[in-house]
Amino acid sequence: MDELTAEDENEIRQAVRALCQRFPDEYWANADETQSFPWEFYRAMADEGWLGITTPEEYGGGGAGVQAASILMQEVAGNGGGLNAATTVQVALFGLEPVLKHGSEEQRRQYLPAAIAGELQVCFAITEPDAGTETTAITTFAQRVPGGYRVNGRKVFISRALEADRMLLITRTAPRDAGAKATDGMTLFFTAVDREHVSINPIPKLGRNAIATNELVIDDLFVPEEDRIGEEGRGFSYLLSGLNAERIIVAALCLGIGRAALRRAVEYAKQRVVFSRPIGQNQGVQFPLADSLAKLDAVELLVRRAAVLYDAGLACAKEANEAKYLASEWAFESADRAMQVHGGYGYTKEYHVERYWREVRVERIAPISNELVLAFLGEKVLGLPRSY
The parent domain of residue 107 ranges over 6-116
Q: Cα(219)–Cα(222) distance, rounded to whole angstroms?
A: 9
* Domain-ending residue, one of 116, 133, 151: 116
Residue 353 belongs to some domain of the structure: yes
Q: Does residue 377 share a domain with residue 269? A: yes
The answer for residues whose C-beta is within 8 angstroms of residue 242's C-beta and 6 or more apart is 94, 95, 97, 98
CATH code of residue 71:
1.10.540.10
**Residue 301 lies inside a defined structural domain of this protein:** yes
Query: With contact defined as beta carbons under 8 Å apart, do 59 and 112 qualify?
Result: yes
**CA–CA gap between residue 234 and residue 210 (Å, rounded):** 34
Determine the pLDDT at residue 388.
86
Same domain flag for 257 and 351:
yes
245-to-43, 87, 324 alpha-carbon distances in Å: 24, 15, 11
Q: Do the domain assignments include residue 387?
A: no
HSE of 62 in the Cβ direction (CA atoms, 13 Å)? 21
Q: Are residues 101 and 153 in the same domain?
A: no
For strands 122-125 and 166-172, give the pairing. Answer: parallel
Q: Is residue 1 part of a domain?
A: no
Q: How far is CA 384 from CA 133, 238, 315, 371, 388, in A?
A: 21, 27, 20, 15, 12
Indicate the residue among 236, 254, 270 that finishes a domain: 236
**Does 281 lie in the same domain as 204?**
no
pLDDT of 179 = 86
Instruction: Assess whether 102 and 129 both reside in one domain.
Output: no
Q: Are residues 377 and 244 in the same domain?
A: yes
Same-domain check for residues 66 and 199: no
- 107 & 128 share domain: no
Residue 189 lies in a domain: yes
Same-domain status, 192 and 280: no
Q: What is the pLDDT of residue 9?
A: 95
pLDDT string in tens for the chain (388-residue length) = 578 999 999 999 999 999 999 999 999 999 999 999 999 999 999 999 999 999 999 999 999 999 999 999 999 999 999 999 999 999 888 889 999 999 999 999 999 999 999 999 999 999 999 988 889 999 999 999 999 999 999 999 999 999 999 999 999 999 998 888 989 999 999 999 999 999 999 999 999 999 999 999 999 999 999 999 999 999 999 998 889 999 999 999 999 999 999 999 999 999 999 999 999 999 999 999 999 999 999 999 999 999 999 999 999 999 999 999 999 999 999 999 999 999 999 999 999 999 999 999 999 999 999 999 999 999 999 999 999 8
SS (H, E, C) the chain: CCCCCHHHHHHHHHHHHHHHCCCCHHHHHHHHHHCCCCHHHHHHHHHCCHHHCCCCHHHCCCCCCHHHHHHHHHHHHHHHHHHHHHHHHHCCCCCCHHHHHHCCHHHHHHHHHHHHCCCCCEEEECCCCCCCCCHHHCCCEEEEECCEEEEEEEEEEEECCCCCCEEEEEEECCCHHHCCCCCCCEEEEEEECCCCCEEEEECCCCCCCCCCEEEEEEEEEEEEHHHEECCCCEHHHHHHHHHHHHHHHHHHHHHHHHHHHHHHHHHHHHHCEECCEEHHHCHHHHHHHHHHHHHHHHHHHHHHHHHHHHHCCCCCHHHHHHHHHHHHHHHHHHHHHHHHHCHHHHHCCCCCHHHHHHHHHHHHCCCCCHHHHHHHHHHHHCCCCCCC
Do 217 and 255 fall into the same domain? Answer: no
pTM of this structure:
0.95
Note whether 129 and 87 are same-domain residues: no
Peptide bond into 367 cis (omega under 30): yes
In a domain, 312, yes or no: yes
In a domain, 369, yes or no: yes
In a domain, 90, yes or no: yes
Count of domains observed in the chain: 3
Q: Is residue 247 located within the same domain as residue 377?
A: yes
CATH number at residue 138: 2.40.110.10
Cα–Cα nearest to 149, from 180, 182, 194:
194
Q: In the listed set 60, 92, 116, which residue is the last one of a domain according to the structure? A: 116
